[in-house]
Structure formats: C-alpha cells, structure tokens
C-alpha cells in the first residue's frame, strides 16, 4: 500500500472581499472543499489557470493561511489542530518555494545570513560540519558556487535566485516540498535546468513534491499524478496518461487544447 504523507480533507478558504452599506461582510471562496492525498516519494502536479486558488491552497498546506474549514494531516498528525509551539518542530518538514525568490529574501542580508536563519531557528543538525560547511555542500548540490554565500540577492539572476531558494528549503531537510510556480517567471532553457535540479534533489532526498503551475506541458513532464483545479475546486485527477489521453472532463480538454494551439 502506498503511504500517505499529506492528507488534505475538505479544505476551504474564504477571503473577505468587501462590506456592503448594511455592514454585512461579503466573502469569496478561493478554495472550495478540496481533498487529496500526497503519497511518499510522489510528484503531484497541481494545474489550473491564474486565480483558481493554487497559491491559497499552497499557503494553507504550510500554515501561512488559515482555512475556514477542513483538515490537514502530515504523517498522520492533524497540523491544523496543533498549537503553533508544537507545529514549530514539524515546520521544517513542509517547505514552500514560491515564484518570486527575490521577494522572499531580505535584500540587505548576505545569503549566508538568510540561509542560516532557518537552520538556527529550527535547530537543524549540520551533520557534524560547521554551518558554513553544511551550506556550502547544499549550494554545491544545487550547482551553485559556495562563494555565493557572501553575496547579496541583487547580485544574482532569476535562475540563480530560484536555485538559492531551493537550496534554502533543502537545508531544512524537508519531507514535503510545495513548489508554487517556481519556473513560471524564467525563460524556457532555464526552466528546464531548474526542473532537472528539483527532480534530482527530490529523488536523492526521497521527498514528496507538490508541483504547482498553470502550464500543463510542465506538469506532464514531471508528475506521477495530476490534479486539475478550477474556481477553487479539483475538477479532475489522474495519471498524466489519463489526463492527456483518456479524461473526458471538459475543462481538462479545454486546457489541453489551449496548450496545443499556443501560438509558438
């Protein structure tokens, strides 16, 4: 039997979108009754058009956004019910990497300081090495030069920054990685290199991956299973073969057609 690492049950998130003159709060449901499992070692692709609720879902999984309803189990433990103090021990194990690595790094800090923060805060073991030695090894495994640790974020290209963001997450030895549109802002040749790095690290470190994108051709390449999301709901689910060859879901077919008729 496949072992479930993450179990998402009936997750819902409503945002307040305004107040009427009667002082009644108007809400908008960005994620509606989403349930799925992530299995050990799996790459789960989550695909859907912009605004369908992917990032909201990603942020709920790492407890950056609080759901209005639903449950999240990480390795059998209900993390939404958990007090923040107890969850702090689990936080390193579920890491989110976002689309904008520059925005996620303090521009005034050298990379060594940014990458050290999480390790110190969560008391991560550096395998008997100095903190710098440990980080240098992670940078090398992400095909980055160890000297980069002494530089500032503004000194890097988009692709290098995304590699550094991956390195920062890996330094915490996560078991689940949530990658939210991490190649969407990069040009196609760099996209391929970053995807290759991500998949190599995922296999070597035996992690499970939720790969989020609006691009069906990217999920097709790397996913074991694909979820198709629209207007806050999961409309379709299956292996890449099923999604691309057998699915009769109208929305999946529409996404596929958009992919084929893309103008270049």
Which residue ranges make up the site for ligand ADP (CB under 6 A)? 15, 30, 48, 50-56
For the CA atoms of 61, 63, 66, 72, the dihedral, rounded to the nearest 10 degrees, stands at 50
- The least distance separating Mg ion from the CB of residue 13, rounded to whole angstroms, comes to 13
> From ligand ADP, Mg ion, none, which one binds at residue 201 (CB under 5 to 8 Å depending on kind)?
none
Residue 50 or 206: the one with the smaller Cβ distance to ligand ADP is: 50
- Which is nearest to 36 in space by CA: 58, 65, 66? 58
- The least distance separating ligand ADP from the CB of residue 55, rounded to whole angstroms, comes to 3
> From Mg ion, ligand ADP, none, which one binds at residue 52 (CB under 5 to 8 Å depending on kind)?
ligand ADP
Contact with Mg ion (CB under 5 A): which of 55, 116, 191, 223? 55
Residue 54 or 225: the one with the smaller Cβ distance to ligand ADP is: 54
The residue sitting closest to Mg ion, measured at its beta carbon, is 55
- Which is nearest to 168 in space by CA: 201, 191, 192? 201
Cβ-proximal residues to 147 (8 Å cutoff; 6+ apart), any chain = none
> From Mg ion, ligand ADP, none, which one binds at residue 56 (CB under 5 to 8 Å depending on kind)?
ligand ADP
For the CA atoms of 241, 178, 88, 70, the dihedral, rounded to the nearest 10 degrees, stands at -60
- Which is nearest to 208 in space by CA: 102, 47, 95, 124? 95
> From ligand ADP, Mg ion, none, which one binds at residue 168 (CB under 5 to 8 Å depending on kind)?
none
Residue count (the chain)? 264
Residue 55 or 252: the one with the smaller Cβ distance to ligand ADP is: 55
Token reading at 136: 């240098």
Residue 14 or 137: the one with the smaller Cβ distance to ligand ADP is: 14
Cβ-proximal residues to 212 (8 Å cutoff; 6+ apart), any chain = 45, 46, 47, 54, 55, 57, 58, 178, 179, 180, 181
- The least distance separating Mg ion from the CB of residue 98, rounded to whole angstroms, comes to 8
- The least distance separating ligand ADP from the CB of residue 58, rounded to whole angstroms, comes to 8
State the residues that interact with Mg ion by CB under 5 A: 54-55
């Amino acid at each position: 039997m496949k072992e479930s690492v993450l179990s998402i049950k009936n997750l819902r998130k409503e945002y307040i979108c305004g107040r009427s003159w009667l002082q009644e709060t108007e809400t908008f449901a960005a994620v509606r009754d989403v349930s799925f499992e992530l299995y050990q070692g799996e790459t789960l692709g989550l695909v859907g058009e912009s605004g369908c609720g992917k990032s909201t879902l990603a942020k709920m999984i790492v407890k950056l956004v609080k759901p209005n309803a639903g449950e999240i189990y990480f390795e059998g433990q209900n993390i939404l019910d958990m007090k923040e103090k107890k969850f702090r021990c689990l936080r390193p194990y579920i890491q989110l990497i976002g689309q904008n690595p520059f925005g996620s790094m303090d521009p005034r800090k050298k990379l060594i300081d940014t990458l050290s923060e999480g390790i110190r805060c969560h008391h991560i073991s550096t395998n008997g090495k100095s903190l710098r030695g440990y980080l240098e090894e992670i940078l090398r495994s992400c095909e980055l030069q160890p000297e980069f640790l002494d530089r500032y974020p503004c000194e890097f290209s988009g692709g290098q920054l995304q590699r550094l963001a991956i390195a920062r997450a890996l330094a915490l030895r996560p078991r689940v990685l949530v990658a939210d549109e991490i190649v969407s802002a990069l040009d196609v040749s760099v996209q391929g290199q970053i995807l290759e790095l991500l998949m190599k690290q995922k296999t070597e470190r035996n992690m499970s991956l939720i790969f989020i994108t609006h691009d069906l051709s990217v999920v097709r390449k790397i996913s074991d299973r694909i979820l198709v999301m629209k207007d806050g709901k999961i409309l379709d689910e299956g292996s890449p073969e099923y999604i691309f060859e057998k699915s009769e879901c109208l929305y999946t077919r529409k996404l596929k057609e958009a992919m084929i008729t893309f103008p270049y």
